[in-house]
């Protein structure tokens, strides 16, 4: 023990002697009587005595317990297996539904594109000049005269109702205004 302590102090002393500016440590004088820990006596621990199963009744109780446990574990495994199968079925249905949703979304996009294409094709086919010529020359449409135009101000809203009453600005009737009786 003494020898170990001396080696320890030598190692510590040597550790600190690395540089030229390091202070030299003085080694303390060795203690004459090293401290020794008193030995403890370990008292033997008393282990509990095991009961021996000698009677046939105890053996039957143990077997009965095993049968109950086996039945319980079998039921638990069956329930767990059933739940796993149901979970997998639900996952499969969810995957199928997600696939159907994706297909329907693609179909919606395709239909919207088709509608836009058809609308543009119809709009391109309509020639307003051709409609004007057909209305004026073939059908006899004429522009109204200034006396035939009746203006009125509606205070309710910016929209015009199809069957709404036209307010009278002047005291003459509607028929007189159309026929030109000013």
- Please say if the pLDDT value at position 77 is more than 70: yes
User: Are the CB atoms for 147 and 182 separated by under 8 Å?
Assistant: yes
Q: b/e for 29-48, b at 16 or more Cβ within 10 A?
A: eeeeeeeeeeeeeeeeeeee
Please name the residues in contact with 18: beta carbons below 8 A apart, sequence gap of 6 or more: none
Which tokens is 82 given?
A: 């059933």
Closest CA to 139 of 130, 127, 126: 130
CA distance 93 to 99: 10
Give the tens place of pLDDT for each residue, 122-147.
888 888 888 888 898 988 888 888 88
Plot region of 180 (φ>0 → left; ψ -120 to 50 → alpha; else → beta): left
Q: What is the largest CA-CA distance in the chain?
A: 144
pLDDT attached to residue 63: 60
| 169 and 152 Cβ atoms separated by less than 8 Å | yes
Cβ atoms of residues 30 and 6 within 8 Å: yes
> When comparing pLDDT for 31 and 96, which is higher?
96
Q: How far is CA 115 from CA 101, 119, 120, in A?
A: 21, 6, 9
Averaged pLDDT score across all residues of the chain: 76
Note the pLDDT tens digit of each residue in 106-118: 999 999 999 999 9
Rounded to 10 degrees, the C-alpha dihedral 69/72/75/80 comes to: -90
């Amino acid at each position: 023990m003494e020898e170990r302590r001396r080696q320890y102090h030598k190692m510590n002393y040597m550790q600190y002697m690395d540089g030229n500016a390091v202070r030299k440590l003085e080694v303390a004088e060795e203690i004459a009587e090293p401290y020794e820990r008193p030995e403890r006596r370990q008292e033997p621990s008393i282990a509990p005595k095991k009961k021996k199963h000698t009677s046939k009744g105890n053996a039957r109780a143990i077997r009965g317990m095993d049968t109950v446990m086996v039945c319980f574990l079998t039921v638990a495994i069956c329930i767990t297996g059933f739940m796993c199968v149901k979970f997998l079925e639900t996952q499969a249905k969810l995957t199928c539904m997600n696939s159907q949703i994706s297909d329907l979304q693609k179909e919606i996009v395709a239909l919207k594109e088709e509608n836009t294409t058809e609308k543009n094709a119809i709009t391109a086919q309509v020639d307003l000049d051709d409609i004007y010529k057909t209305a004026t020359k073939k059908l006899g449409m004429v522009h109204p005269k200034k006396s035939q135009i009746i203006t009125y101000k509606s205070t309710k809203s910016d929209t015009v109702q199809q069957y709404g009453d036209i307010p009278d600005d002047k005291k003459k009737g509607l028929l007189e205004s159309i026929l030109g009786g000013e």
